Amino acid sequence: MALTDETPVTARSTDPLGTVIPSTVPTHWYNLAADLPEPVPPHLHPGTREPLGPEDLAPLFPAALIAQEVSTERYVEIPQTVREIYALWRPSPLIRAARLERAIGTQARIYYKYEGVSPVGSHKPNTAVAQAYYNAVEGITRLTTETGAGQWGASLSMACALLGLTCEVWQVRASYDAKPYRRFQMETYGSVCHPSPSDLTEAGRAILAEHPDTTGSLGMAISEAVEAAVKDPGAHYSLGSVLNHVMLHQSVIGQEVLVQLADAGERQADTVFGCAGGGSNLAGLTFPLIGQNLRDGTTTRVVACEPAACPSLTQGEYRYDHGDVAGLTPLLKMHTLGKDFVPPSIHAGGLRYHGMAPMVSHAVNLGLMEAVAVDQDTAFAAGVEFARAEGIIPAPESTHAVAAALAHARSVTEPEVVVIGLSGNGVLDLPAYSSYV
């Protein structure tokens, strides 16, 4: 049928609504690859060990995300529909932690960038919305993914609900059992959530045959979600961290920080702390600041804060490894504890990943950022201290950054600007706090 003026046009879920977007919502994502002194090592084909071509990734990702994965453009325009959704919670606040400063008696001026204001309570929707959008535009109807604590699964579930996709999530068994509320959140958005390893995939069945009592890991759950996507031509896979395009989408965090610090009258952040699981909130917060260091000569110091129980940056090897346990994903050059490493089931489920994003690993290797490991009790003690001074209960993941920042702030002898990445809130993690306090 030819379209005429009278033909009713059905709006697609990816069409902009035409709502007014505040000018403070970023218009572009920032790509550190444009400013790096050496290029990020390419991802390799697991069979040939040759750099991946776009056709290798096509079964898993839409063309736009594959292009972003290898892009070296400094700025990538954010689609209008994605900006409209971002406007629900962006710009997220940068808050001066004045009570915390007083409580610990520091000379540092401490700020925290709070991503817990998103509808699901973490930074993860910054990329979930972008990924769901590009998949929907390409005609994909179903996304599969893994999740640890459930923050990512809930984020992708929300994004899929808003953009008209169905979503199936494999959640690491330890978190599936211990953290049912995020599963309820996913189900409320219309997703299906399975404990991983499950008997629904070959990868899951093989793992269960060898380790029937395993608590699961992100690497196992990734294998299951990838396999499910590859077997369904209408489906794609979506990853909540690690890949370059995820780092790109999260750059809205750090770009806002640059503007907000300037508005607060600060010349630069002196030391920035971000927790690191797969590396996405850390990259999002700090890559725009590292870019400014490289281009404009600022001297911001960046500290990646990882759990002592899963110390990929401080203890892992920097080499090519698979992103998952079954070896289905491309080979990524990263700091890794080995794809078969099963971390102990710590409360910060989102930090239980054997590897680290290639871009973060590369930045550490180039000396553009440092890394520290924080043990769970120290992290929770800092989370409680933060909650009692500032009112916000940090996500267990975020407490790792808080702990390292507090130790630093207590030791400074001159005034300086400290920024903490508060990647999420812990209101659905209260059983973890209750076992600590």
Ligand X SMILES: Cc1ncc(COP(=O)(O)O)c(C=O)c1O
Residues binding ligand X (CB under 6 A): 122, 148-149, 151-152, 241, 275-282, 350-351, 395, 397-398, 423-424
Question: Looking at beta carbons only, is 56 or 404 nearer to ligand X?
Answer: 404
Question: Looking at beta carbons only, is 248 or 395 nearer to ligand X?
Answer: 395
Question: Looking at beta carbons only, is 151 or 215 nearer to ligand X?
Answer: 151
Q: Smallest gap, in angstroms, from Cβ of residue 157 to ligand X?
A: 14
Nearest to 19 by CA among 78, 85, 77: 85
Question: Looking at beta carbons only, is 220 or 275 nearer to ligand X?
Answer: 275
How does DSSP assign 63-110, residue by residue?
Answer: HHHHHHHH---SEEEPPHHHHHHHTTTPSPPEEE-HHHHHHHT-SSEE
Instruction: State the number of CA atoms in the 13 A half-sphere of 394 facing the CB.
Output: 30
Q: Smallest gap, in angstroms, from Cβ of residue 169 to ligand X?
A: 12
User: What is the rounded distance in angstroms from the CA atom of residue 253 to the CA atom of residue 232?
Assistant: 34
Q: Smallest gap, in angstroms, from Cβ of residue 251 to ligand X?
A: 13
Evaluate whether 303 touches 273 at the Cβ level (below 8 Å): yes
User: What is the rounded distance in angstroms from the CA atom of residue 349 to the CA atom of residue 138?
Assistant: 32
Question: Looking at beta carbons only, is 91 or 350 nearer to ligand X?
Answer: 350
Q: Smallest gap, in angstroms, from Cβ of residue 426 to ligand X?
A: 8
| Geometric angle at alpha carbon 283, from 281 and 289, rounded to 5° | 120
Question: Looking at beta carbons only, is 254 or 279 nearer to ligand X?
Answer: 279
User: What is the rounded distance in angstroms from the CA atom of residue 62 to the CA atom of residue 77?
Assistant: 17
Question: Looking at beta carbons only, is 151 or 185 nearer to ligand X?
Answer: 151
Q: Smallest gap, in angstroms, from Cβ of residue 44 to ligand X?
A: 22
Q: In sequence order, what are the beta bridge partners of 334? A: 319
Q: Smallest gap, in angstroms, from Cβ of residue 275 to ligand X?
A: 5
Closest chain position to ligand X (CB): 350
Distances (CA, A) of 103 to 106, 378, 383, 394: 8, 17, 14, 17
**What is the amino acid identity at position 126?**
N
Evaluate whether 371 touches 313 at the Cβ level (below 8 Å): yes
Q: Smallest gap, in angstroms, from Cβ of residue 145 to ligand X?
A: 12
User: What is the rounded distance in angstroms from the CA atom of residue 334 to the CA atom of residue 126?
Assistant: 23
